[in-house]
Chains A and B, each alone.
Chain A
Amino acid sequence: DTEVTQTPKHLVMGMTNKKSLKCEQHMGHRAMYWYKQKAKKPPELMFVYSYEKLSINESVPSRFSPECPNSSLLNLHLHALQPEDSALYLCASSQDGRFYGYTFGSGTRLTVV
């Protein structure tokens, strides 16, 4: 298995909702990442988990809460989002923090209404 799987592919949520994005990989990668991508822009790093511990938080607002239950799974919990948070949310993984084998999922298209 050489894929990073993200669910759901599309999500529409209200500003008072609570939802979660899920990411899964079975490549034995020990680093996992969340990125946010706005239209026609490059991906922007949000969080990095290394060996299941949060190693980088790029000053992301607390309405985004990451979780790494085990080495294969990565979640992003969403609460009280704003319309400007609408974007493509990408998960990625790599063998370790050196990025070799860095692989992206197809993303979750999030719309906040």
Chain B
Amino acid sequence: GESVGLHLPTLSVQEGDNSIINCAYSNSASDYFIWYKQESGKGPQFIIDIRSNMDKRQGQRVTVLLNKTVKHLSLQIAATQPGDSAVYFCAENGSGGANSKLTFGKGITLSVRP
């Protein structure tokens, strides 16, 4: 079946370094992707999104890259801070249409070392 997955379950980075979180998706019909950050005890927080007609989108300290050829999505966080420590999920909108579903990847824990 279709799935969205992450390559690594945990990522540990030094404060101030850049972080790269990767995500593989398998539904070639997906045309919208979202990255979420979830801190302990809270709901997922929207970070950045990208539509399939784009390869790259930048926000404040974050960049999302989309490679449709290999069905790969990545989130880059510049100058990682302790407040970036959380679980990160990628999500895709599946086959599209009014009843399409937002499917989440497994999640990766980002741990920032001081």
Chain A residues with a Cβ under 8 A of chain B? 4, 6, 33, 40-43, 45, 48, 50, 55-56, 88, 90, 92, 96-100, 102-107, 109
Cross-chain contact A97 with B98 (CB below 8 angstroms): yes
Q: Contact string, B25-64, partner A, CB cutoff 8 A, digits 1/0?
A: 0000000101010000111111001000000000000000
Partner of B43, one of A40, A98, A104: A104
| Minimal Cβ-Cβ distance residue in B for A90 | B43
Q: Contact string, B60-87, partner A, CB cutoff 8 A, digits 1/0?
A: 0000000000000000000000000001
Cross-chain contact A41 with B98 (CB below 8 angstroms): no
- Could you tell me which residues of chain B, from 83 to 114, have a CB within 8 Å of some CB in chain A? 87, 89, 93, 96-102, 104-107
Interface size class for chain B? 20 to 34
CA–CA, A60 and B97, complex, Å = 22
Cross-chain contact B93 with A103 (CB below 8 angstroms): no
> Which residues from B are CB-within-8-Å of A41?
106-107
> Which residues from B are CB-within-8-Å of A109?
41
Chain B residues with a Cβ under 8 A of chain A? 32, 34, 36, 41-46, 49, 87, 89, 93, 96-102, 104-107
> Which residues from B are CB-within-8-Å of A42?
89, 104-107
CA–CA, A88 and B42, complex, Å = 9
Whether A97 touches B100, Cβ cut-off 8 Å, given contacts A43-B44, A102-B34, A103-B46, is: yes
User: Distance in Å from the Cβ of A8 to the closest Cβ of chain B?
Assistant: 14
Cross-chain contact A90 with B34 (CB below 8 angstroms): no
Cross-chain contact B98 with A104 (CB below 8 angstroms): no
> Which residues from A are CB-within-8-Å of B87?
40
Cross-chain contact A97 with B104 (CB below 8 angstroms): no
> Which residues from A are CB-within-8-Å of B106?
41-42
> Which residues from A are CB-within-8-Å of B44?
43, 90, 104
